[in-house]
Amino acid sequence: MCGISGIWNRVQKPVDRSLLRDFTQVIAHRGPDDSGYYFDDDCGLGLGHRRLSIIDLSSAGHQPMASGDQKYWLVYNGEIYNYLELTAELVDLGYQFRSHSDTEMILAAYQAWGYACLDRFNGMFAFLLWDSSKQLLWAARDRFGVKPLYIWEQSPNFIAFASEIKQFTKLPNWKAQANPQRCYDFLAYGMLDHTSETMFKDVWQLRGGQYLTLNSDRQDADFGKLTVKQWYSLPSHQQDLSMPEAKQQLQNLLKDSVKLRLRADVTVGSCLSGGLDSTSIVCLSDQLRQESANNIPFQTFSSCFDDLRYDERQYIKDVIAQTQVHPNFIFPNASELFEELDHLTWQQDEPFGSTSIFAQWCVFRQAGQSGVKVMLDGQGADELLAGYTKFYAALFANLFRKWHWCKLVNELITCRRYQNATEIQRMIEPLLPIWVRQPLRRLLGYASETAVPSWLNGSYLQALGVAPQVSAKFALTTPTSIHQLSHLQITSTSVPMLLHWEDRNSMAHSVESRVPFLDYRLVEFAYSLDDTTKIRQGQTKAVLREAMRNIIPESIRTRQDKMGFVTPESQWIKHGLSDRFEIELQKAIASLGQWVQPDVLQKIFQATLDGNSGMQGVIWRVISFSRWLKVFDVKI
């Protein structure tokens, strides 16, 4: 697990050595164990690397790494979990290895299979591979974008590649300017990473499942051409399995995914929230530890609060009682939030949608301080297996569309066990045709689905070129099936954003995070399942609950409430930190200028203080966005 960088200078001037070192040093936290550089002065190319040693801790794993004939050079961030199996396959093909690292395996795999080697990799990765024989730079990102890769084209003559956006601040002619459309997406809906664009103008990223090529051959007519291709997409096929068949296959796939992600030459631990997803990972990890006769206790890390409404220790203790894990309890401190906010914002690269990111930050910080260098986490399960309440609406819409009236009525009735009437009403609304839904919303006093929120200055933003409908398409459109909503959340609206936060929070503390639910085999299997295996009799993630029967504590397997990395954000605003939040809000209003409507924001804040509004998310987004402007000196 590492950080990578690259600079290409079209006019063939040698890349400035000190510039590349400064550019790479910005991400020393991603790789505190080693660093290295490669320069091809004839082609104006420089590659940089910071290493966090996880597999093969020896100097043999040093990067940039070259093939035996030095035709190929690689800087790589990630883990290929099935590297042992692929290495054995390559040995059979005649390749020889000097190290025990997955990095060397990638070089051999490229020589053996070309771009198609990506299809064989089970892992998370972003890399830059220089093919000197073709004068070609190849950059690739894993299927779901677990590891990041950003690009800034300063001009057609100068292109930079980075693991984190903050690296670009070290380059000549860098000016941090806001991308109005993406900034609006965040402020209005809390969305980021749903497109290739970022909130920084002219900074973009490879999406999950994409690779790019940069032609550096001056004799070629396409010299300097940068081409992006989609190398992976979710398969469209669906299968009709019984619940017993589906649960057994899911259990097998998840266990094998966890087993692969326990491969490391350093200490491995896990986040543990007390929910279904992280508990499944922890219990399977403990089961695998016992099967391998490993006597080292598996460490877990949990975010806790004295306010019982936001605390999950009652469930975490059930996991501890059933396993032999060594627990670590972390209590995020409200006052520390603002003390850490500038540093946290710098590490995140972009503003973030809630203070729950701070809770996750505290967990990974404690893991790093405890000497745990690899952490497992449950990202992706909710999006794959219908864990959010919005999936109810998608299920109802699918049953309605297929005229499965009896099933629809049955699910509506059983859903009432777990959801209140207001939530059910919201779920039913999308079933109505838009020509009925829109007048109904106006009659009830709701804003139009595509209207600019009242606290934003719509006329000013539209003058900047912001199109509210673009964001509404991602944030408000209700897909007509769980299958369709899963696709949207995995590829655009949820998983990419969660992985962004996870990557920055973990790597800021030199910890590698691994996400077993995003093993592509498990994703493809779960994605192919019928909607009714995911929500059944009103229960979300039904197939996972069945797969984990007799593996996790029953109190968690049947648990219906959902928390995750929550914080008592509304309580912090209303009580202990109300004055601080108000000060921060006033600063934010001043810094955002014509973007916002100050009077409306003030009313929202007062309503939150009075306990009459669930809009505190708006308050936090404005504050976080303002801090981002300050920390990165962004011009809006």
Over residues 351-391, the pLDDT tens digits come to 999 999 999 999 999 999 999 999 999 999 999 999 998 88
Is the pLDDT reported for residue 412 higher than 60?
yes
Residue 435: pLDDT over 50: yes
Q: Give me the percent of the chain exceeding a pLDDT of 90.
A: 76
Percent of the chain residues topping a pLDDT of 70: 93
Q: For residue 568, is pLDDT > 90?
A: no
Say whether pLDDT at 566 is over 80: no
Q: What is the mean pLDDT of residues 193-211?
A: 97
User: Angle CA(348)–CA(354)–CA(358) in degrees, nearest 5?
Assistant: 55
Higher per-residue confidence, 281 vs 429: 281
Q: What pLDDT score does 182 carry?
A: 97
Comparing 470 with 216, the larger pLDDT belongs to: 216
Residues 298, 270 contacting (CB under 8 angstroms): yes
State how far the Cα of 105 lies from the Cα of 304, in Å rounded to an integer: 41
Burial class of residue 285 (count of CB atoms within 10 Å of its CB; 0-12, 13-18, 19+): buried
Q: What is the CA radius of gyration of the chain?
A: 25
User: What does the pLDDT average to over 123-141?
Assistant: 97
Exposure string of 67-88, with b = 16+ CB inside 10 Å and e = fewer, is beeeebbbbbbbbbbbbeebbe
Mean pLDDT of 264-271: 95
**Residue 446 — very low, low, confident or very high, per pLDDT cuts 50/70/90?**
very low
Report helix, strand or coil for 343: helix
Q: What is the sign of the dihedral through the CA atoms of 211, 214, 217 and 223? A: positive
When pLDDT is averaged across residues 473-489 and rounded to a whole number, the result is 84
Residue in 59, 50, 47 with CA at minimum distance from that of residue 31:
50
Supply the pLDDT for residue 521. 98
Task: Report, as an integer, the average pLDDT of 538-557.
Answer: 96
Please give the order of strands across the beta sheet that includes 326-330.
326-330, 299-303, 268-271, 374-376, 512-514
pLDDT exceeds cutoff 90 at 561: no
Q: Note the Cα 13 to chain centre separation in Å.
A: 37
Examine the pLDDT at 574 and tell me if it is beyond 90: no
Predicted confidence band of residue 393 (pLDDT cuts 50, 70, 90): confident
Instruction: List the single range of 86-90, 266-270, 293-297, 528-532 with lowest mean pLDDT.
Output: 293-297
d(CA 474, CA 476): 6
What integer is the mean pLDDT of 476-483? 80
pLDDT: is 599 or 568 the higher one?
Answer: 599
Q: Per residue in 154-173, pLDDT tens?
A: 888 899 999 999 999 999 99
The residue whose two tokens read 């299920």 is: 395
pLDDT for 398 beyond 90: no
Residue 53 near residue 34, CB atoms below 8 Å: yes
What is the amino acid identity at position 558? T
In this prediction, residue 422 carries a pLDDT of 60
Residues 6+ apart with CB under 8 A from 510: 29, 30, 31, 32, 52, 368, 373
Report the number of secondary-structure helices (H) and strands (E) in the chain. 25, 17
pLDDT, residue 444, reads 46
Contact 35, 50 (CB under 8 A): yes
Q: Which residue has the higher pLDDT, 218 or 249?
A: 249
**Average confidence score pLDDT of the chain:** 92
Cis bond leading into 32, ω under 30°?
A: no
Range in 102-111, 181-190, 210-219, 430-439 with the lowest mean pLDDT? 430-439
Q: How is residue 50 written in tokens?
A: 């910071």
Q: Token pair 């049947």 is at which residue?
A: 558
Q: What does the pLDDT average to over 505-518?
A: 98
Altogether, the residues listed in the chain come to a count of 636
Instruction: Give the pair of three-digit tokens for residue 464.
Output: 């900047």
pLDDT over threshold 70, residue 441: no
- 73-82, 174-183, 329-338, 434-443: lowest mean pLDDT where? 434-443
Closest listed residue to residue 590, CA positions, set 602, 579, 580: 602
What pLDDT score does 427 carry? 64
What pLDDT shows up at residue 432? 62
Residue range 40-59: mean pLDDT, rounded? 95
Q: Which residue has the higher pLDDT, 616 or 122?
A: 122
- 2-to-35, 337, 512, 624 alpha-carbon distances in Å: 10, 27, 9, 27
